[in-house]
Structure 1
Amino acid sequence: MNVLVLFGAILFILMTIIGGKKGAKSFIALFFNFGVLIFILFFMTNPDFNPIIITVIACALISCINLFFINDINSKTKTAFLSTIITTVVLLLMIIVVTDKAMIQGFGEEEIEELGVFSLFIGVDFVKIAASVIIVSTIGAIADAAMAISSPMQEMFTHHPSISRKDLFAFGISIGKDILGTSTNTLFFAFFGSYLALLIWFKDLSYYFGEIINSKIFSSEMITIFFAGIGVTLVIPITAWISAYFFVKTRDKTIKG
């Protein structure tokens, strides 16, 4: 049996046993997300389409899959989805500016040898492509953090329906503080593990610390990690405020009705 099929089957069985119906949906969502990424690749290389717009649409689709498909359409997934989209748009505006100013778009000198036989005049905006890559790399962490805050806030509101908006917001912030450190560290170690071979290569080539920091490959990945951390940080107050506002407003409307 192909090793990919074997590990896929093991993952599906474990997710189904432990997560039940939601676990099975989560496994299926992996393939839906993969389809969205293929969608991005198909349009991203077409000069007639704006990569930024395509990325925003893709992020909305990924958020819908990860939130609504897995956890159904309810108040906590709605607030998490809205928070994710708002955070993504705000982050995207920052990413476009930083990508242009930092000059991290395109390819680094370490990749020139492999790309030397190809033409780089393909008619696409590499600044927008780089911005799209960064935002796609962060959308999963942002949606995960939004859901991790919205869900316990709904539980708190369910068990304490008379809680004030201010106290509910403070509760959401306290949850965000708990997950902030672990989320940012997860992003950092994911980068370190993925690019360990690159760091070893830098060592073998006797790169100085300054050369490593200024390397386009290293800089672009570190900027991605920083933006992912910024996104996770921003989504905490945004989700806490939107959830507190939505839950309390729904309660007040029900009482008045």
Structure 2
Amino acid sequence: MNVIVLLAIILLVLMIMVGGKKGLRSFFSLFLNFGVIFFTLAFMLNPDMNPIILTFIASVLIGCISLFYINEINQKTIIAFISTMITTVILLVFIVFVSDSLMIQGFGEEETEALSGYSLYIGIDFMKIGVSVIILSTIGAIMDVAISIASAMHEIVKHNPKIGKKDLVNSGINIGRDILGADTNTLFFAFFGGYLALLIWFKDLSYSIGEIINSKIFSSELMLILCAGTGVALVIPISSWINAYYLLRVKEK
């Protein structure tokens, strides 16, 4: 049996054992999200299509699959979806500005040999592709924080219906603070895990710290971590305020 198929079966069994029906839907959502990304990449090959717009549409679809398909349509998932989309729009504007200022799109000199047999004249704006990569790399972490805060705040109101708006918002932010450190560290170590071979190569080539930091590959990945961390930090107050406003408004009615 193919090792990948075996690993997929093990993952499926564990997700069903732990999550039941929701675990099964979570497993199939991986393939649905892969399909969204695959078709988005296919459309990106068309020079007449804007990769940033395509990425935003893909983010909406991924949000619907990850929130509504897995957890069904309810108050928590709707608020988490709204919080995710608002944060994504704000982050998108920020990333476009930063990417245009840093000019780190394209390939670094370390990749020259691997790309020497390919043509780079493909008619696609690499700056927009870079923005798309960052957004797709960030959307999962943003959704994770948004649904975590929404679930926790709903439980707070359920067990303490007399809580005020200010206290509820502060509770949401305090919950987000605990998540913030874990998520940013996850993004950080994901980068170093994925690019460990590159860092070893830098060491073997006797790169100085300055040369490593100014390397296009390193700078682009570091920018991804910082932008993803910014998105996680932004979604905390946004999700906390929206949840508090909605929950207390429902309680008043």
Using structure 2 for the length normalisation, give the TM-score: 0.98
Counterpart Cα distance in 2 of 1:177 and 1:246: 21
Q: Deviations over 1:188-241 (max 9, x none)?
A: 011110100110011111111111000000100010001111110000000000
Q: Number of matched residues?
A: 253
Runs (4+) of structure 1 exceeding 4 A deviation are none
Aligned AA (2:41): L
**CA shift for structure 1 position 158:** 1.6
**CA shift for structure 1 position 168:** 1.1
**CA shift for structure 1 position 90:** 0.5
Three-state SS of the structure 1 residue aligned to 2:185 is helix
Q: Deviations over 1:152-187 (max 9, x none)?
A: 101111222222221111110110011111111111
Other-structure match for 1:19: 19
1:196 aligns with 2:196: yes
Counterpart Cα distance in 1 of 2:120 and 2:178: 45
**CA shift for structure 1 position 107:** 0.7
Other-structure match for 2:217: 217
Aligned AA (1:220): S
Counterpart Cα distance in 1 of 2:220 and 2:211: 14
State how 1:126-165 maps to structure 2 within 5 Å: 126-165=126-165
Q: Show structure 2 runs of 5+ residues with no match.
A: none
Other-structure match for 2:70: 70
Counterpart Cα distance in 1 of 2:101 and 2:71: 39
Counterpart Cα distance in 1 of 2:195 and 2:36: 25
Other-structure match for 1:7: 7
Counterpart Cα distance in 1 of 2:81 and 2:149: 12
Three-state SS of the structure 2 residue aligned to 1:46 is coil
Three-state SS of the structure 2 residue aligned to 1:141 is helix
Other-structure match for 1:114: 114
Q: Show structure 1 runs of 5+ residues with no match.
A: none
What root-mean-square deviation, in Å, do the aligned CA atoms of Structure 1 and Structure 2 show? 0.9
Three-state SS of the structure 1 residue aligned to 2:117 is coil
Q: Deviations over 1:49-93 (max 9, x none)?
A: 111110000001111111111111111111100000010110111
Counterpart Cα distance in 1 of 2:45 and 2:129: 9
- Higher mean Cα deviation, 207-216 or 109-118? 109-118
Other-structure match for 1:96: 96
**CA shift for structure 1 position 9:** 0.4
Other-structure match for 2:235: 235
Counterpart Cα distance in 2 of 1:180 and 1:119: 41
**CA shift for structure 1 position 16:** 0.5
Using structure 1 for the length normalisation, give the TM-score: 0.96
